[in-house]
Amino acid sequence: MLKRKLGNSGLEVSAIGLGCMGLSYGYGPATDRQQAIGLIRAAFERGITFFDSAEAYGPYENEKLLGAALAPMRDQVVIATKFGFDFGPDGGQSGMNSKPAHIREVAEASLKRLNTDRIDLFYQHRVDPDVPMEDVAGTVGDLIREGKVKHFGLSEAGVQSIRRAHAVQPVAALQSEYSLWWREPEREILPVLEELGIGFVPFSPLGKGFLTGAIDQTTEFDKSDFRNVVPRFSAENRQANQGLVDALGRIAEDKGATRAQIAIAWLLARRPWIAPIPGTTKLHRLEENVGAAAVDLSADDLKSIETALAAIEVHGDRYPAHLQARVGK
């Protein structure tokens, strides 16, 4: 697979990464450990060298999983993880925490769980309104100088936070949701990333599975699947958004590709410093996603996609209100 550099940081990653959250958290029961290790290693065998985790995924279990799966090829991969939350005795998030001392504690714990001596990309998971961004960036900068972290990232941060962080410690990458059915980053985020030379790592590039065409208004999710509380995934909104999936299907058929491949290829065509991280628990979906790197969308193709989707209104918020309040800060 071709490689990409995340902005001006020099951090080189596979054009498509693997978002590992769903193996442990968020989309129903955790995947069997050996099966998950097999999937991660299969991703590496197919050219993926960029793996995304967080202490919050589980919590903690996802990092342990990556540490075990990637140990044999540690020096050939880029591992990203995140800090920024406290957790209660039951494992649930009990609030944000990006205090400098806590960032250091998380870094040390993540290094052990990941079975490594450095974190390649260390993201602040969400902007903490109680801790100045300068303190956060400065602390990660110290960890970089100590060799424990290689690069600093932000997740779901707004323009002002990005600027404030970057002024203290260069930000290698911003990770936020971006896809054919969530294009908000095009308004303010992409221009500032281009200006500052920061890479972009879109998560949920397949609209949390919806853009694949495998989900419709009759789909029932596991009780532990967080899509149950996402307004965009109400049965009514899924039905209303079906037109987007249908249009994507027509475009995919014309190109001899799948909906997922067109959705990922579209992101790759947006900027050369964008590296999406689709997640999956299934080998055939992994192979389908990897195949997107070989789908070449011409200027005419991209224009056709814009034209086809321009008339389609996407229904429903991407987060419930309490989670929406944490993003774009």
Catalytic positions, please? 57
Q: Residue 82 class from Cβ within 10 Å (0-12 exposed, 13-18 middle, 19+ buried)?
A: buried
Residue 206, both tokens = 């397949």
CA dist., res. 100 & res. 322, Å (int): 25
CA distances from 178 to 41, 184, 205 (A): 26, 7, 6
Q: Are β-strands 85-87 and 93-96 bridged in parallel, bridged antiparallel, or unpaired?
A: antiparallel
How far apart (Å, rounded) are the C-alpha atoms in residues 199 and 187? 16
**3-class DSSP assignment, residue 319:** coil
Half-sphere exposure of 168 (CA within 13 A, CB side): 19
- Give me the DSSP letters along 186-220: GTTHHHHHHHHTBEEEEE-TTGGGGGGT---TT--
Tokens 């221009």: give the residue: 191
